Amino acid sequence: MSRAIELTKELVRFNTINPPGDERICAQHLGRIYEQAGFKISYHEFEDKRTSLVARIGGSAEKKPICFTGHIDIVPLGRKAWSKDPFAGETDGDKMYGRGVSDMKAGVAAFTIVMQQLAKQLERSPGVIVVITADEEKGCGGANHLEASGVLGHAGAIVVAEPTGNYPMVGHKGAFWVCAKTRGKTAHGSMPHLGDNAVYKAARAVSKLEGYDFGKPHAHPALGLPSLNVGVFQGGLNYNSVPDEAMIGIDMRTTPNQDHAKIKADLQRHLGVDVELEAIMDVPSVYTDPNDPWMQHVFDTVTPFLGKRPEPITGPFFTDAAALRKAFKSPPTVVLGPGEAAQAHQTDEYAHMSKIEQSVEYFTTIARRWCGI
């Protein structure tokens, strides 16, 4: 068994289900590997045991380092029973099973082994910054914390090793979740004229949302149109009371041409003063022009593994790249990793071990090319 596959198995054994996350011991396990390889490491906790790891090596005045990133939190097991142990890394043929094996401990393991192998040469090169985050699954918590703390410094390109089955993705939509509340005054249900019904106000707001138009065209050539969905509608506690509060959960998926603060202001104007808006998740979109020279290098590098040159596609899920690009001032970014996107968050989640091996090869090439080693 190769070291990348062994390390994937080691990482799967840490139960980092989020919530609660508890990423600390998993982060420390990786931290020791980087430290022994000669990287300078630092841990960053936004809450007790919610640990992200930053590891650096090399550096030069001429060129910024390249960033490799991945998250180590995983989603809950779900209601359905698993037929495999979700924390053992059991294998069957080419498949390794476990929660988070595809999303995305295989990706983290693969680039970690690459960094360990290249460490000596990376010392005298533009170098690498590795960012391993906690709490990605609930809206990039660890990455946002790193960005806000200003500890990340610089990077000239980002590789996000999320599960793409080794097919590069040039971007993804943003996710903007807004909680809308209406308030009223409660009264006995037999005397509604004494109250002020918050549900009626919310119903009017929902009708307006159904017809909501993002305004001037925001279609993006690769990411398409923005969307809006009302995913939650709650109000009232019992039949015989006038509800004094109601809540609407709004999920918007946005394109690079949109500004989330402006969307919120526009939504407020559209819904009026009866509705209070609060952003509860704010992850910007990510997009790199496929003609960017570095992106073309990445395409060259993966072509032999795919058997054909990749098309510039975008992904359905959001990633930590949204927060990291803010810190690094929007360098070219590729989402590329060995896990299977379709396996993310599934019962009996698995990854193909052959794809993990392939990712070790192309991550090596990508790091070597960037660093000129």
The residue written with tokens 């039949």 in the block is: 239
**Residue 339 beta carbon to Zn ion: minimum distance, rounded to whole angstroms:** 8
Nearer to Zn ion, 104 or 302 (CB): 104
Helix (H) or strand (E) holding 201: helix 198-210
Nearer to Zn ion, 294 or 318 (CB): 318
- Lookup: tokens for 150: 């200003």
**Residue 39, CB-side half-sphere exposure with 13 Å CA sphere:** 27
**Residue 124 beta carbon to Zn ion: minimum distance, rounded to whole angstroms:** 33
- Lookup: tokens for 255: 């394109």
**Residue 158 beta carbon to Zn ion: minimum distance, rounded to whole angstroms:** 15
- Residue 45 pairs in a beta bridge with 51
Q: How far apart are CA 144 and CA 320, in angstroms?
A: 8
**Residue 319 beta carbon to Zn ion: minimum distance, rounded to whole angstroms:** 7
CB-closest chain residue to Zn ion: 103
Q: Which of 320, 336, 326 is nearest to 139 (CA)?
A: 320
Nearer to Zn ion, 135 or 162 (CB): 162
DSSP 188: B
**Residue 137 beta carbon to Zn ion: minimum distance, rounded to whole angstroms:** 7
Q: How far apart are CA 267 and CA 214, in angstroms?
A: 9
Please, are residues 161 and 337 in contact by the beta-carbon 8 Å criterion? yes
CA torsion angle for 326, 328, 334, 339 (degrees, to 10)?
-80
Nearer to Zn ion, 71 or 181 (CB): 71
Q: Which residues are at the interface with Zn ion (CB under 5 A)? A: 103-104, 162
**Residue 142 beta carbon to Zn ion: minimum distance, rounded to whole angstroms:** 12
Nearer to Zn ion, 101 or 263 (CB): 101
**Residue 300 beta carbon to Zn ion: minimum distance, rounded to whole angstroms:** 26
Nearer to Zn ion, 104 or 132 (CB): 104
Please, are residues 275 and 201 in contact by the beta-carbon 8 Å criterion? yes
Nearer to Zn ion, 244 or 349 (CB): 349
Q: How far apart are CA 50 and CA 52, in angstroms?
A: 7
- Lookup: tokens for 114: 């690459």
